[in-house]
Structure 1
C-alpha cells in the first residue's frame, strides 16, 4: 500500500537493531500508534547450522502468545554482512485497523533500518503461524524458481507484486512478480482478452462480449458489474443492465454485490461517456482488497484504450469504500453540463444580465473520500 501511516521508528528500536548479533528482533507498533518499538529482543539462539532453525522456533513461540496480533520480524543471517531475514507478519484474522496500520508502516520501517540490508530473497509477507518455521522458510527459498510446490496462498502472493507499493528493492516477497502494467501504461486493446503482459487476470467470454457491445449502448444508461474470481484466475461478468437511471445506481450496484466484496463497475451516465467505479466495502478481506487494487489501474488503461476507438470516453474514475460513499452529484453535474437544453436555458437566463454562455460555471461538490 502506498499510503503511509506517519508512524516512525523509535530510538530504542534503532539502537536494538544496531546491536543485533544472532538473536531475532520482534517489532510492533506502540499502543498509542505513534512509534515502532521493540516488542522483544529474544535471547541468544544456537549458532552454526542450527542458528536459523532455533531463531524461527523462538519467534514462533513468542508470536503464538499474542496471535493474531501483527508484528515485524528481523532475523540475522549474517549481521557482519548486513544480511537479515525480514518478515511482515499480518494474520488474516487480525483487526482490520491493525492490518492497515502495519501494511502502511512497512515502508517506513525498512527505510529506517536500511533497505540495503534486506534482500529480495529474504523478505516476506506471511499471515499464518505455520509459516513462521524454518522448514517453511527453506521451502520458500527453494521454491523461488519452482511454482509447482507453492501453496494456493503463495501462488496468490506471486501475482500480487503491488501488495506493498514500495520503492525498496527488498520490500516484497520472493514469491511476487511485477505486473507488466506498471511498466507498460498502454495495454493492448485486443478484445480477445488481455494477456499476462497487460492485466493480472483474463476476462471470461461473457465479459468480453459486454465490452464489445459498449459502443452499441452508448446512450442507454448501461451498467456492467464484474469481479475477480481468484480461484479460476478470471475476471467475470456479474450483471449487465440497460436503463439504469442515476437515482437507481446505488441500488443496482448493491443488488449485484450481495456479499459485499470488492467490485468493478462501468456505468454509461451520459451519451458516449462512462464512469469506472471501484468499490471496496469496509468488511472486505485484506487479500481481496490488495488483489482488486493491483488490477485497477491496468483495467482503466485497457478500457480507455478500447473505448477511444469508438470515440467514447471514461470521464470519471470513482474509487470508494462502501457504496453509500459514491457522490452521485459527480455524475449529475456532468450530465447537466453536457445537456444542450440546460446550456441553452442558462444562456437565455444570463442574456439580460450580461452573462454570456462562456460565463457559465458548474460547481462540482466533493464529498469526503476514504482511501
Structure 2
C-alpha cells in the first residue's frame, strides 16, 4: 500500500513526461521483452464494445471520413439538372428525371448513390399506380424515389411529383448518413430542373420520409402531403353566427361553503 500510494509522487518528481508507458507486475516473469510485447499488443487491440458502442464508433468513423474527403464541391457540376455540388448525376438518372417531367402517366423513378464515386445512379423506373408504391422500393437499403402521381384528391386534380426518401432500419449506418446528408440537395436539384423545362407537373412542397416502405400507400401520401381535408370549408375568424338556439355558457357552481 505504501509503494502504491507513492508511485505517482515518484514519477511526477522525476518528470512524468519522460515515461511513455507503465507496467504493473506481480512476478519477475512479467518484466521481460516477451511480456512487454504482449502488453503492447494488448494496448493496440480493439476494445471490447457493445452493439450500441460499435454503432456509435461506425458513425464517428464515417464522420471522420466525410470530413477528410475532398469533394469536387469547389467546381460546380455542369449538366442538365442544375449546377449543384456534392453529388454527380449519371446520364441514366438525368434521362429518367427528364422523362418523368415530360410524361403524363403514373411513374416511379428510384435513385441510389454509389458511395465510391458519389454519383446518383438510376436503380429503376416503372409505370406503377399508388397501390404498388410500397412494394416497389427496397427494404434493406436507402433510396431516393420520385413518384409522379396523377391524383384527384385536390380540386382541380393535378399530376404531382412526390419526392420520397426511404431509409429502412436495416440499412448500414454509413449509407444512412450519406443519404440523409444529400436528400435536400437532390430534391432541390429536381425542383429546379422541373421549373427550367416548364414541366406541367409540379414537385410536391413536402417530401415523404419513411423507414418502412410497405407503409407507402394512398392514405399515407395524403396524410404526409397534407392533402387530407384540403377542400374542407374554412371557419371565419369572427366565429360562427349566433342562430338563437345556442345556450349561453353557464359557469359551474363552486363547492358549498361549510357552516361552522
Q: What interval of TM-score do these two structures reach, taking the shorter chain for normalisation? A: 0.5 to 0.7
Alignment of 1:234-245 (within 5 A): 234-242=119-127, 244-245=128-129
Residues 111-152 of structure 1 show CA distances to partners (whole Å, capped at 9, x for unaligned) of: xxxxxxxxxxxxxx489xxxxxxxxxxxxxxxxxxxxxxxxx
Partner Cα distance (1:261, 1:289) in 2: 8
2:53 is equivalent to residue 98 of structure 1: yes
Deviation at 1:200, TM superposition (A): 2.5
Structure 2 contact 143–166 (Cα < 8 Å) conserved? yes
Deviation at 1:330, TM superposition (A): 4.0
- 2:69 counterpart residue number: 176
Partner Cα distance (1:222, 1:265) in 2: 10
SS of 1:66 mapped into structure 2: coil
Deviation at 1:284, TM superposition (A): 1.7
User: 2:112 aligned to 219, 224, 227, which one?
Assistant: 227
Q: 1:211 to 1:191 in 2, by over 3 A?
A: farther
- 1:314 counterpart residue number: 204
Partner Cα distance (1:62, 1:328) in 2: 56
Partner Cα distance (1:264, 1:179) in 2: 22
Q: So what's the TM-score if we normalise by structure 1?
A: 0.43
Q: 1:274 to 1:316 in 2, by over 3 A?
A: farther
Q: 1:335 to 1:222 in 2, by over 3 A?
A: farther
- 2:43 counterpart residue number: 62
- 2:136 counterpart residue number: 252
Deviation at 1:277, TM superposition (A): 1.2
- 1:332 counterpart residue number: 222
SS of 2:133 mapped into structure 1: helix
User: Can you give the 5+ residue segments of structure 1 that lack an aligned partner in the other structure?
Assistant: 1-20, 24-41, 46-56, 70-93, 107-124, 128-153, 162-174, 182-186, 347-356, 360-371
2:192 is equivalent to residue 192 of structure 1: no
What number of residue pairs does the alignment pair up? 195
Structure 2 contact 131–217 (Cα < 8 Å) conserved? no
SS of 2:207 mapped into structure 1: strand
Structure 1 contact 227–235 (Cα < 8 Å) conserved? yes
Structure 1 contact 228–236 (Cα < 8 Å) conserved? yes
Deviation at 1:178, TM superposition (A): 7.0
Deviation at 1:61, TM superposition (A): 3.1
Report 1 or 2 for greater relative contact order, CA contacts < 8 Å, sequence distance ≥ 6: 2
Q: 1:22 to 1:305 in 2, by over 3 A?
A: farther
Q: So what's the TM-score if we normalise by structure 2?
A: 0.58
Q: 1:199 to 1:295 in 2, by over 3 A?
A: farther
Residues 309-355 of structure 1 show CA distances to partners (whole Å, capped at 9, x for unaligned) of: 3262233312222323547534235596699xxx5xx7xxxxxxxxx
Structure showing greater radius of gyration is: 2
Moved more, 326-335 or 278-287: 326-335
Deviation at 1:237, TM superposition (A): 0.6
SS of 2:204 mapped into structure 1: strand
